Amino acid sequence: MNLTLKIWRQKDSNAKGQMVDYKVTDISEHMSFLEMMDVLNEQLINAGEEPVAFDHDCREGICGMCSMYINGEAHGPDRGVTTCQLHMRMFKDGDTITIEPFRAAAFPVIKDLVVDRTAFDRIQHAGGYISVNTSGNTQDANAIPISKHAADEAMDAATCIGCGACVATCKNSSAMLFVGAKVSQYALLPQGQVEAADRVRNMVAQMDLEGFGNCTNTGACEIECPKGISLDNIARMNRELMKAQF
Amino acid sequence: MALDSKVPKGPLKDKWTDYKNHINLVNPANKRHIDVIVVGTGLAGGSAAATLAELGYNVKAFCYQDSPRRAHSIAAQGGINAAKNYQGDGDSTYRLFYDTVKGGDYRSREANVYRLAEVSANIIDQCVAQGVPFARDYGGLLDNRSFGGVLVSRTFYAKGQTGQQLLLGAYSAMNRQIARGKITMYNRHEMLDVVKIDGKARGIIARNLVTGEIERHSAHAVVIASGGYGNVYFLSTNAMGSNATAAWKIHKKGAYFANPCYTQIHPTCIPRSGDYQSKLTLMSESLRNDGRIWVPKNMEDVLAIREGRKKPTDLSEDERDYYLERRYPAFGNLVPRDVASRAAKERCDAGYGVNSTGEAVYLDFASAIERYGKEQAKIQNIENPSAQKIYDLGKSVVEAKYGNLFQMYEKIVDEDPYKTPMMIYPATHYTMGGIWVDYNLMTTVDGLYCIGEANFSDHGANRLGASALMQGLADGYFVLPYTIGDYLANDIRTGKIPTDTPEFDEAEKSVKDMIDFFINNKGQHSVDYYHKKLGKIMWDKCGMSRNEQGLKEAMAEIKALREDFWKNVKVPGNANEMNPELEKAARVADFLELGELFAKDALNRNESCGGHFREESVELDGEQKGEAKRNDKEYAYVAAWEYKGEPADAVLHKEELEFKDIELKQRSYK
Amino acid sequence: MSGFFKSSIGRKVAMALSAFFLMIFLLQHFAINLLSVFSGDIFNEVSHFMGTNWLIQFVMQPVLIFGVVFHFIMGFILEIKNKKAKGVAYAKNNGAANSTWVSRNMIYSGLVILAFILLHFIDFWFPEINTKYIQGDWSGVHEGVEGYRYFHELQEKFVNPARVAAYIVAFVFLALHLLHGFTSAFQSMGATAGRKKTLQNIGKAYSIIIPAGFIIIALYHHFNHIH
């Protein structure tokens, strides 16, 4: 198929960017979206132009590195996938595809479609851990039974890949699905409950400091999340923060 | 230089304990004055950085990704082994040790493997304490599954995302230390050289991938945890950015490279669909527990399927060749990875591949669905269930077991694997070879350590499923933090290492020269052009089966390709900015050297062992006719290569492998 | 605790608490209005009680005003902050793909409601304040009107079809606002996953029945006024 691409180009974080049109031809429907981008870049390199910079790494939907806003949706129109798992069969010959970086004040553009998501790391530094030494001299792994239900729910929250689609999608650029997932994972496990109050306070404070917006419960993040992280995690975080006041 | 593995004396089971009791320690007040650089933040690097920081060292951690959480350990699906014996099925440290050595086809170092098995149980305790949500049973205790090549259930797992959960655990331990200021994290940085002062590793040169700035970082010791080199094949299940640069640069500075030819080709990956393919996706090995692998018996059917005139489901049982069941009646579809991969290649080379590229075989769940369906019907007391009912019941069982994998397959291939058999083909997955290290995990350069997939130590010629995660975390959490102290104990009076020395000047200059060359070369071909060509040579001639002639050709072709690369490569953009093409160019330059050493090593090792299959070394008669034949008399050694300029000139050093606690046997899966 | 209300989640909770208060008030207001359909006399009695009881006048009324003002001002503040958090807007954004129109446009439904409240104040509240506090007339009677004046005033307001139309538009927007706001407030307060379905159903019922009820009452008086 032949496609027109409208892509955000921006030289570096200080430069002013703009949308630029490109044409690609003979795209196979079996290609992944990023393979289509590879084709475009090969074409640009051969023509002596600068290729489009975009983040990607594992290309199997788990590292969370890829991050494009495609036709008005984070990771494109398919559900439950990252951009690297999006396939060209979702598009038709002659389509125009708009490709932008994830937008949020807390995710400044580094170049073209590459954004800086280290705000997420800083939130994790603030409390995304259990304060246990890595010496291995801890109690036996089976010393505290954990109900299967709690373990499964914690696992569901823990599957977050930190891609930032929630922030990109949210009209308020809120990071609450991301933070809620991490808070929930630990809140659901007995190991995490010891420092639950400090954790949620510190992580929320850092989240606010980073300039993420406020959740207005539109639920868009949950729909666009490639890992299906549930909105219930935000409710749980709210509960945890309220609990932490007393 | 003679290789000294520094394995402690004494009985196997006491070595590690005795060793720990007698090494030098660094007092906590002195640890504050010691810096350690860790390159790579996967399971090995992440856990090492966290633990070293927790002990009190100042750690500088580097990763090329935008966050340490994205290292490719995250993609490991199946699980992590540990000799916990929670299932009471006879598991023990010795058994895990034995299985690992046997699975590695007797090409690993006994003492290291035993230590790995010994600390494995601690890993699980540690991870649970960190909040890793392993799967549990209804009683609230940890659940286990079994994996290929072993007779016990010792694999702990977190759905199909065990690597992710373990990595996030190590990442959380890092976060705690970053918050305390004990780890300084350098995201989007790539190590481009190691700096040696007086024969000791004292720092690295790194490029800031955002600004392009070349930076000098000093430390009292350097730890390389940069993963494997599977991307030398271009197509592999590795991440796009996975590279051998850190490992190769230290090799060029004196660290020996061991057994580069030991590569694991994983049998169950989604096949290539065209030339544009950028990477391959693994489907967990666990699928082979229930899937049956086959190709059509008759060539007419193969052609009919390729041309779309027939569907695989149209073929009757008589028209199908379940070649693994046919060739290996004892193990059937559950033969080890290397055997399954070679058998698939054999069928496809004979022309029976079922997709348009001719490189795919079927993995069929129809009989599993039927078997489970009938089982469920019985459990639910359904009399004379209809075929549809059986299918529905069976499908739900299969869905519960492999749902996420089936969904992943459907997203990529656009076919419903519940209705039509999956297509799979082997792909490069893991590299057992790597930087040679002694018992302390130190390379042949003082103060330079190598851990995780980047080193060669524990898996021999073949790695068992769910053992990579175990090794990464064992090295990082429990082994390196001890052994490095023994070395650093001599450095407590050294003080901060300055970076304004001639050694740093020189290393920085060589890096800058290389970058300038790429930017100014203005050649004709993109980096990918060369990488793809290299990958094709590697796959065709150093792939699942290798022979003398092919390996010689490969060496010559890679050398020619490398020469052409240095003349005609084209890198757009500038040095002082984010430039993904420049990053790739530097990595491919190293792969172009590594690939040749790989072929040289494969040529040297004229035996078939584990993932390395030499067509010249097969059983000639008897029941095992045509199967791999190991040659313990001549090749029971680690091939450690010393860099001497051109890869072809590398000098071989042998570390003879001694097996005192295990009897060497030829593997049989018939 | 003061730190809590400065945090993003604290602000959400504050929004939700004020919303709960307003929803309860709305329910109460609706109940009294409903009386006017059945009996003008009872409506008058209750209205007079509400209008003259000191607890309601001097405690509840200021709280209500504070609640309304707080909900609006906080809503605006959050909207501005959230706009800023997005930074650069997308060239192409497909919001409909993942969220409802009402959830994305609470600020607009809120503004319509604000405009309506102003109208409502001009119609009822300012005259009440004028009568009671400026003229000092707490009798609740009006010359030429039999009994208390409240029912009479109510009916008079719904004579004008334009006002009725404005009333209907406002309550449609209120319904939209509530359709998202009701469950959103519970979500902000951390409602558990198990109660989600129930809350959604109650929310839907509340958001449709209450505004529809107000509209029906308005139409009833428009078509049934005595004058």
DSSP string, chain C: -HHHHHSHHHHHHHHHHHHHHHHHHHHHHHHHHHHHHH-HHHHHHHHHHHHH-HIIIIIIHHHHHHHHHHHHHHHHHHHHHHHHHH-SPPSS--GGGTS-HHHH-HHHHHHHHHHHHHHHIIIIIHHHHIIIIIS---S-B-TT-SSBSHHHHHHHHTS-HHHHHHHHHHHHHHHHHHHHHHHHHHHHTT--GGGHHHHHHHHHHHHHHHHHHHHHHHHHHHHH---
CA distance A33 to A87: 5
The answer to whether the CB atoms of B74 and A30 lie below 8 A apart is: no
* Domain CATH number, residue B343: 3.90.700.10
**Total domains in the fold of chain A:** 2
Interface of A with C in 113-172 (CB under 8 A): 169, 171-172
Interface of A with C in 212-231 (CB under 8 A): 212-220, 223-224, 230-231
CA distance C11 to C13: 5
The answer to whether the CB atoms of C10 and A241 lie below 8 A apart is: yes
- Tell me the sheet residues that pair with B190: B207
Around Cβ C141, how many Cβ atoms within 10 Å? 13
- Tell me the sheet residues that pair with A20: A7
Res B506: pLDDT: 98
B337 in catalytic set: yes
Contact A100, A9 (CB under 8 A): no
* Domain CATH number, residue B552: 1.20.58.100
The rounded radius of gyration (Å) of the Cα atoms in chain C is 20
Sheet with B200-208, edge to edge strand ranges: B189-197, B200-208, B214-218
Whether residue B465 is predicted with pLDDT greater than 90 in this model: the reply is no
Res B166: pLDDT: 98
The answer to whether the CB atoms of A60 and B124 lie below 8 A apart is: no
C89 contacts chain A (CB < 8 A): yes
pLDDT digits (tens, 9 = 90+) for C152-193: 988 888 999 999 999 999 999 999 999 999 999 999 999 988
CA distance C101 to A220: 11
C193 contacts chain A (CB < 8 A): yes
Res C1: pLDDT: 57
Catalytic annotation, pick one of B337, B342, B347, B667: B337
Of A66, A90, A111, the residue at which a domain comes to its end is A111
Element (H, E) at B306: helix B299-306
CA distance B268 to B287: 8
B54 to chain A: which residues are within 8 Å by CB?
133-135
**How far is the CA of B314 from the CAs of B99, B257, B358, B363, B391, in angstroms?**
41, 51, 19, 15, 17
Res C194: pLDDT: 87
Summarize the confidence of residues C106-131 as an average pLDDT.
Answer: 93
The number of C-beta contacts closer than 8 angstroms across A and B is 219
Query: Which of A73, A103, A113 has the alpha carbon at shortest distance from A91?
Result: A73
Whether residue C45 is predicted with pLDDT greater than 70 in this model: the reply is yes
Same domain membership, residue A68 and residue A18: yes
Which subunits have 3 or more CB–CB pairs within 8 Å of chain A?
B, C
Q: Does B383 map to a domain?
A: yes
> Chain C residue closest to A215 (CA)?
C12
Contact B48, B473 (CB under 8 A): no
Domain of residue A32, residue span:
3-111
CA distance C72 to C84: 18
Same domain membership, residue A202 and residue A134: yes
Tell me whether chains A and C touch (3+ CB pairs under 8 A).
yes
Same domain membership, residue B515 and residue B420: no
CA distance B430 to A171: 42
CA distance C137 to C131: 6
Summarize the confidence of residues B610-636 as an average pLDDT.
Answer: 92
Distance of residue B594 Cα from the nearest chain A Cα, in angstroms: 22
CA distance C88 to A173: 11
Whether residue B296 is predicted with pLDDT greater than 90 in this model: the reply is yes
CA C92, C94, C99, C102 dihedral sign is positive
Same domain membership, residue B522 and residue B418: no
Res A136: pLDDT: 75
Contact B428, B230 (CB under 8 A): yes
Phi then psi for residue B138, to 5 deg, are -70, -20
Q: Which residues of chain A have pLDDT under 70?
A: none
Torsion of CA A163, A165, A170, A175, to 10 degrees: -10
Same domain membership, residue B405 and residue B523: no
**Total domains in the fold of chain B:** 2
Under the banding of pLDDT at 50, 70 and 90, the label for residue B1 is low
The answer to whether the CB atoms of B282 and A132 lie below 8 A apart is: no
Q: Which pair of structure tokens corresponds to residue A157?
A: 């929250």
B427, amino acid identity: A
A73, amino acid identity: E
Around Cβ B661, how many Cβ atoms within 10 Å? 15
* Domain CATH number, residue A42: 3.10.20.30
Same domain membership, residue B517 and residue B422: no
Res C21: pLDDT: 96
Element (H, E) at B156: strand B155-156
**Which among C78, C87, C192 has the least Cβ separation from residue A235?**
C192
C191 to chain A: which residues are within 8 Å by CB?
235
The 3-state DSSP composition of chain A as helix, strand, coil percent (nearest 5) reads: 35, 15, 50
The answer to whether the CB atoms of C85 and A69 lie below 8 A apart is: no
The answer to whether the CB atoms of A208 and C8 lie below 8 A apart is: yes
A11 to chain B: which residues are within 8 Å by CB?
577
Contact B362, B294 (CB under 8 A): yes
The answer to whether the CB atoms of C85 and A105 lie below 8 A apart is: yes
This prediction has a pTM of 0.96
Same domain membership, residue A190 and residue A136: yes
Distance of residue B86 Cα from the nearest chain A Cα, in angstroms: 9
Same domain membership, residue A107 and residue A122: no
A20 contacts chain C (CB < 8 A): no
Distance of residue A20 Cα from the nearest chain B Cα, in angstroms: 18
Whether residue B645 is predicted with pLDDT greater than 60 in this model: the reply is yes
Cα C221–Cα C225–Cα C227 angle in degrees, nearest 5: 155
Report helix, strand or coil for A2: coil
CA distance A150 to B30: 43
Res A84: pLDDT: 96
A147 to chain B: which residues are within 8 Å by CB?
136, 140
Predicted ipTM? 0.98
**Which among A8, A19, A105 has the least Cβ separation from residue C86?**
A105
Domain of residue B334, residue span:
268-428
The answer to whether the CB atoms of A223 and C97 lie below 8 A apart is: yes
Summarize the confidence of residues B617-628 as an average pLDDT.
Answer: 89
Distance of CA C209 to the CA centre of its chain: 14
Interface with B, mutate which of A134, A139, A155, A161 (most B CBs under 10 A): A134
pLDDT digits (tens, 9 = 90+) for C26-42: 999 999 999 999 999 99
Res A91: pLDDT: 97
**Structurally, what CATH architecture does the domain formed by C2-84+101-224 represent?**
Up-down Bundle (1.20)
Same domain membership, residue A187 and residue A106: no
**Which among C8, C93, C94 has the least Cβ separation from residue A214?**
C8
Q: Does B527 map to a domain?
A: yes
CA distance B27 to C174: 69
- Tell me the sheet residues that pair with B266: B427
Res C227: pLDDT: 55
DSSP tag of B190 = E
- Tell me the sheet residues that pair with B205: B193, B216
**Which among C1, C81, C104 has the least Cβ separation from residue A214?**
C81
CA distance B372 to B366: 10
Distance of residue C24 Cα from the nearest chain A Cα, in angstroms: 21
The answer to whether the CB atoms of C12 and A8 lie below 8 A apart is: no
Distance of residue C1 Cα from the nearest chain A Cα, in angstroms: 6
A42 to chain B: which residues are within 8 Å by CB?
526, 528
- Tell me the sheet residues that pair with B639: B654
Same domain membership, residue A237 and residue A124: yes
Same domain membership, residue A175 and residue A76: no
The answer to whether the CB atoms of A211 and C85 lie below 8 A apart is: yes
- Give the domain ranges of chain C: 2-84+101-224
CA A179, A181, A182, A188 dihedral sign is positive
DSSP tag of B575 = S
Summarize the confidence of residues B62-87 as an average pLDDT.
Answer: 95
Interface with A, mutate which of B128, B213, B521 (most A CBs under 10 A): B128
**Which among A85, A146, A159 has the least Cβ separation from residue B412?**
A85
**Which among B129, B171, B412 has the least Cβ separation from residue A138?**
B129
Phi then psi for residue A186, to 5 deg, are -75, -35
CA A39, A40, A46, A50 dihedral sign is negative
Distance of residue A133 Cα from the nearest chain C Cα, in angstroms: 31
Res C142: pLDDT: 83
Under the banding of pLDDT at 50, 70 and 90, the label for residue B489 is very high
Which subunits have 3 or more CB–CB pairs within 8 Å of chain C?
A
